[in-house]
Structure 1
Amino acid sequence: MTSSASLRTRQFQPDPEFPADPPIRVSRPAGSNRSALVLSSPHSGDIYPASFRGASQLDPLTLRRSEDAFIHELYAAGPALGAPLLEALFPRAYCDPNRAAYELDPAMFDAPLPPHVVTDSSKIGAGLGTIARVVTGGLEIYKGKLAFTEAERRVETCWRPYHDALETLLEEAKACHGVALLLDCHSMPSVGGTHNPDAGQRRADMVIGDFHGVSCAPRLVDRVEDYLKSCGFSTTRNKPYAGGYITQYYSRRDQGIHSLQLEINRDLYMDETRIEKAGGFNRVQGAMTGLIELLIASATPDFLKE
């Protein structure tokens, strides 16, 4: 697999507030206990640099509205079971790895953007490009305009390392097992927002995204849905989320690489206002551990064959 993630433009110093360089965490299975499943948590990062907080007009709790809080903890059993877990330590509001590298709103910047930047997409229109203009709920993040060099620095020090690591993990899984299965792990607000097609409606417990049947073998999607229903969860497919950039980009079914996105309704396991774990956390975590086991057992050439 070859991706634009492996290309480098300029060298930038990482933000010293991040505890790791690059600001990602890869938890690998011990020894040879390695399955074909790869877990990706691109939106659970919760380290907000002081420079970012200073440029924002929002209070710290409001800034966290876009965060898939605690999602990496729900899948924490993955490495012990044989599935590596990749986490972004940087927050989605700072840089979103579930977008193309340079998917930017030109109105956010103090000068015209270079020609290679994508400036027109549905995500940009919603204020949720690679560098977001708003948090979930539509509140504007920034006090003023940004320099493009700031966006470039975040992409080079956050976005690219995340994708380099994800590509490596998938290549390793494919080399070892002949197939690879990516589960992109997310959470969603319990009720559709003002600008969503399901505005005001309570969402299903779990939304399975396979890009409308494109990114993953249908029999695996059926197995996942049957399992989640057996756990007592309500499910939908592809509505309102069919899978983001990661799910779409890394799917190579003709090469044995399948990808799936799972959105978990936040009110199942957390207080959405306080961004704190709630009483249902252990139940959901247990169900996700079972899901990891199911996906590991299913991620074989025989089961995923087309």
Structure 2
Amino acid sequence: MDALAPSAQTGRPHEIVWPARQTLPLVFASPHSGSDYSPEFLAASCLDPLSLRQSEDSFVNEIFGCAPEMGAPLIHALFPRAFVDPNREPYELDPAVFKDKLPPYANTRSPRVAAGLGTIARVVASGANIYKDKLTLAEGLERIRSCYWPYHESLRMLVQQTKEQFGCCILIDCHSMPSASKLGQGRGAVNRTAFVLGDCHGSSCAAVVTDTVERILHRKGYQVARNSPYAGGFVTRHYGKPETGIHSLQIEINRQIYMDETRMERRPALRALAQDMRDVVAALGSLQQGRLRPNGR
């Protein structure tokens, strides 16, 4: 069987960085910044490690690393997105990935599965196939059991504890996007948009949350788009229920700002970007909590 999970090496599938004391009604999550590739997974892939990493949101957990010292917890996956994707439904499974017939509860027809980017991805972000051979269903289900569910159990705990303490919670789901993305004009064009804010077209968080982040980023000179082409993934849709006091916003950052996308290496600008995120955290933390609680209480 393939490796159970990178947790077999690290002892855990994800990490929570706790504040000394939580003073802000915020939770930050980075589901795609994991880079713990097991030897077994690498051996099963027809891609080299650098190609596999094209699906990562590399260093995003570092960009938002200020959150714990400012009073908000940060959770980030240690397993890589190419191994299992926690920003999908638990069983968005691609029949082309598996040797076995899939169970009836599997969602095999989602747009993500059609693109090869289901819970167990068939391709990396570039479109290259990941595997030499098909997986057994048992392998896929073990990855979901050992990596996906523990991540969401911890995320759910953080969101619930935050809501219980403050009466509301803002979950920021942190991601990155390649510069040659869908926002570029024409084939191979470079995306000049620095940030895309996804609030599921206004349904996953109160408008003041998205407006606040957009205002801070504009003030710093960044070009910002809303909901196109990234309106929010499973985490944003699943957790964001403003009517209950839980708000979720997805933030996508253009990788060209802070990293060499070919070598997958940090650029010096990462430090300045991380400093700018301090102002985003501070602005969100200063929002009047009464505006975020159910019925404005």
> Match of 1:116?
105
Query: 2:196 and 2:291 mapped to 1: Cα distance?
Result: 26
Equivalent of residue 216 in structure 1, options 199, 205, 208: 205
Deviations 1:246-291 (A, max 9, x none): 0000011111000000000000000000000013111111111211
Provide TM-score, normalisation by structure 2: 0.94
CA pair 126-59 structure 1, distance change in 2 beyond 3 A? same
> Match of 1:160?
149
Query: 2:37 and 2:99 mapped to 1: Cα distance?
Result: 23
Provide TM-score, normalisation by structure 1: 0.91
> Match of 1:19?
10
Query: 2:252 and 2:262 mapped to 1: Cα distance?
Result: 18
Q: Give the alignment of 1:150-299 within 5 angstroms.
A: 150-192=139-181, 200-203=188-191, 204-298=193-287
Q: Is the CA contact 1:179–1:299 (under 8 Å) kept in the aligned structure 2?
A: no
Query: 2:262 and 2:81 mapped to 1: Cα distance?
Result: 18
Deviations 1:90-146 (A, max 9, x none): 000000000000101101111111111111110001110000000011000000110
Q: CA deviation at 1:221?
A: 1.1
Residues 1:30 and 2:29 are matched in the alignment? no
Query: 1:299 and 1:147 mapped to 2: Cα distance?
Result: 50
> Could you tell which deviates more after superposition, 228-237 or 295-304?
295-304
Q: Is the CA contact 1:131–1:151 (under 8 Å) kept in the aligned structure 2?
A: yes
Q: Report the 3-state secondary structure (helix = DSSP H, G, I; strand = E; otherwise coil) of the residue aligned with 2:10.
A: coil
> Match of 1:61?
50
> Match of 1:8?
none
> Could you tell which deviates more after superposition, 292-301 or 33-42?
292-301
Query: 1:179 and 1:170 mapped to 2: Cα distance?
Result: 9
> Match of 2:33?
44
Q: Is the CA contact 1:215–1:252 (under 8 Å) kept in the aligned structure 2?
A: yes
Q: Give % identity.
A: 44
Q: Is the CA contact 1:128–1:134 (under 8 Å) kept in the aligned structure 2?
A: yes
> Could you tell which deviates more after superposition, 206-215 or 277-286?
277-286
Residues 1:136 and 2:108 are matched in the alignment? no
Q: Report the 3-state secondary structure (helix = DSSP H, G, I; strand = E; otherwise coil) of the residue aligned with 1:87.
A: strand
Q: CA deviation at 1:197?
A: 9.4
> Match of 1:302?
291
Q: Report the 3-state secondary structure (helix = DSSP H, G, I; strand = E; otherwise coil) of the residue aligned with 1:18.
A: helix
Query: 1:299 and 1:60 mapped to 2: Cα distance?
Result: 45
Q: CA deviation at 1:302?
A: 3.0
User: How well do the aligned residues superpose, as a CA RMSD in angstroms?
Assistant: 1.9
**Runs of 5+ consecutive residues of structure 1 not aligned to the other structure:** 1-11
Query: 1:299 and 1:150 mapped to 2: Cα distance?
Result: 46
Query: 1:92 and 1:28 mapped to 2: Cα distance?
Result: 23
Q: Is the CA contact 1:181–1:299 (under 8 Å) kept in the aligned structure 2?
A: no
Q: Is the CA contact 1:243–1:260 (under 8 Å) kept in the aligned structure 2?
A: yes
Q: Is the CA contact 1:45–1:87 (under 8 Å) kept in the aligned structure 2?
A: yes
> Match of 1:105?
94
Query: 2:239 and 2:118 mapped to 1: Cα distance?
Result: 19
Q: Report the 3-state secondary structure (helix = DSSP H, G, I; strand = E; otherwise coil) of the residue aligned with 1:143.
A: coil
Q: Read off the aligned partner of 1:30 and give its amino acid letter.
A: A
Query: 2:190 and 2:287 mapped to 1: Cα distance?
Result: 31
Q: CA deviation at 1:193?
A: 5.8
Query: 2:275 and 2:289 mapped to 1: Cα distance?
Result: 23
Query: 1:188 and 1:170 mapped to 2: Cα distance?
Result: 25
**Runs of 5+ consecutive residues of structure 2 not aligned to the other structure:** none
Residues 1:86 and 2:75 are matched in the alignment? yes
